Structure 1
């Protein structure tokens, strides 16, 4: 990248490798694609290398969606091997989720940077409150709803996930626990959504970011071969190896934790992420 010293390049590479390892671990533990870690980490790193505020957040989101493709596949396979994934729910959500992702990618082409942050704050904040302070009596029903409602939820998950750069686990965990599903089953099933969301989402952000990159010819991080649209290839290459290696370790850890410990850990994590982006919005 133009204007960056050798030390800064080395620091960036080490940071991306380390964040990738943490991302994979959290993906396995919480059944998320890792976007809630990837996006804030990339936001700080891209700021350090001079990516403008106007395109920094969508570049983080698009890169996150590309990164979580292999991580989600590994996490999903690990949970499915333990027989914890509800495949009926995944099949029900497949089409509406993909439609939602496509719509979110179109929104990303025109949305201001603050929209991405606001979605992060609201969704992560609500999820954290539910996990940390919620009670078993906080339910929308005793079983999953009918087809129409499920399709609507799937569409919402797809849209919001594509704007947050996540694999949908955070949203589907919240939804499934509100309908009485155990957190371990919600985590395992949510890992499968990452596969449905990340692939079309990454392709959508390449499309959305391609014309925007041409508007910033002096920003090396947005230009090929370092990026394709809103997907940073250098971020993808450095994140994937360590995240794929650590995802199965996280899945094993998730099944070793008690229900309450898993809820508290995930809730604290989401609360910190929400506060970080809230500070960015008002700062």
Structure 2
């Protein structure tokens, strides 16, 4: 992307596309506790390609910028779920610190791997979660309670690390992890919205630092976080996050699972297509 693209009107196409992505991001953040990155990363990846950003940088910028846009969205989503009593704060205090450690480790690793590797990770994890939600029985559980130490720490490190590498809020991983342990899905979604903030803040900072001074970045970028894209994404996502949270508490749980699965499946296929 060069500055001429900002002067000939193409910037308005960029803002319009990202504003639409922000609508979907905010809605899913509120409805599913996923932070919305599952929408934002593929959208940014395609937009950056249209602006001729080098392929090796697209996924890093998409992930870093997605994490930046998740910060305000997670706050709004968290407030909406908290008002409905759906956030398990004791569980959050147990999981949060370990998730944060995983985020920092995952962000550092992501900065050192090729963009194609990040794209592949995004596609594979999206497909696994989609298949679980689509084909798994809602009443199927691995255990009747959430695990204790040290399994809990391992799960949290995995959720934080992979979420940071995918640029997502963590709900795509934490919600299935909780529900497999007989945890109610609506409470899992609410708690995932709190974990999304723990993922987004350190993840954004780490991607800013690790990408600082990188050549070929789009204008108005701080490291791998593009501020123009963040500003385009945030307003519409903030509007739609409370709407998604309201839907989450009125929609039947089976429909909630199927909607989530369908979206993840399509997203995964799109990312595989971009690779091969």
- TM over 0.5, shorter chain: yes
Q: Which residue of 2 aligns with 1:18?
A: 20
What is the rounded CA distance, in whole Å, between the counterparts of 2:252 and 2:149 in structure 1? 32
| Secondary structure of the structure 2 residue equivalent to 1:198 | helix
Q: Any idea what the Cα deviations from partners look like across 1:199-241, whole Å, max 9, x if unmatched?
A: 0000000011113x2x33xx5x1x4xx1000000000111111
Any stretches of 5+ residues in structure 1 without a counterpart? Answer: none
Q: Which residue of 2 aligns with 1:2?
A: 3
Shift of 1:147: 2.4
Match of 2:242 among 248, 253, 274: 248
Q: Any idea what the Cα deviations from partners look like across 1:79-119, whole Å, max 9, x if unmatched?
A: 01101111122111111111111111111221111221121
Match of 1:271 among 241, 265, 268: 265
Q: Do the aligned residues in 1 keep the contact of 2:138 with 2:254 (CA within 8 Å)?
A: no
Q: Which residue of 2 aligns with 1:167?
A: 169
The 5 A counterparts of 1:92-103 are 92-103=94-105
Q: Which residue of 1 aligns with 2:54?
A: 52
Q: Do the aligned residues in 2 keep the contact of 1:104 with 1:163 (CA within 8 Å)?
A: yes
Q: Which residue of 1 aligns with 2:41?
A: 39
Shift of 1:136: 4.1
Q: Do the aligned residues in 2 keep the contact of 1:183 with 1:263 (CA within 8 Å)?
A: no
| Secondary structure of the structure 2 residue equivalent to 1:125 | helix
What is the rounded CA distance, in whole Å, between the counterparts of 1:82 and 1:255 in structure 2? 9
Match of 2:184 among 165, 169, 182: 182
What is the rounded CA distance, in whole Å, between the counterparts of 1:18 and 1:137 in structure 2? 35
Shift of 1:169: 0.6
Q: Runs (4+) of structure 1 moved beyond 2 Å? A: 136-139
Q: Any idea what the Cα deviations from partners look like across 1:44-89, whole Å, max 9, x if unmatched?
A: 1111111100111000000000000000011011001101111122
Q: Which residue of 2 aligns with 1:148?
A: 150
Q: Any idea what the Cα deviations from partners look like across 1:218-272, whole Å, max 9, x if unmatched?
A: x5x1x4xx10000000001111111111100110011110010100000101111
Q: Do the aligned residues in 1 keep the contact of 2:26 with 2:244 (CA within 8 Å)?
A: yes
TM-score using structure 2 length: 0.96
Shift of 1:25: 1.1
CA, structure 1 residues 10+156, in 2 after alignment: closer, same or farther (shift >3 Å)? Answer: same
Shift of 1:121: 1.6
What is the rounded CA distance, in whole Å, between the counterparts of 2:107 and 2:86 in structure 1? 31
Shift of 1:130: 1.1
What is the rounded CA distance, in whole Å, between the counterparts of 1:136 and 1:29 in structure 2? 17
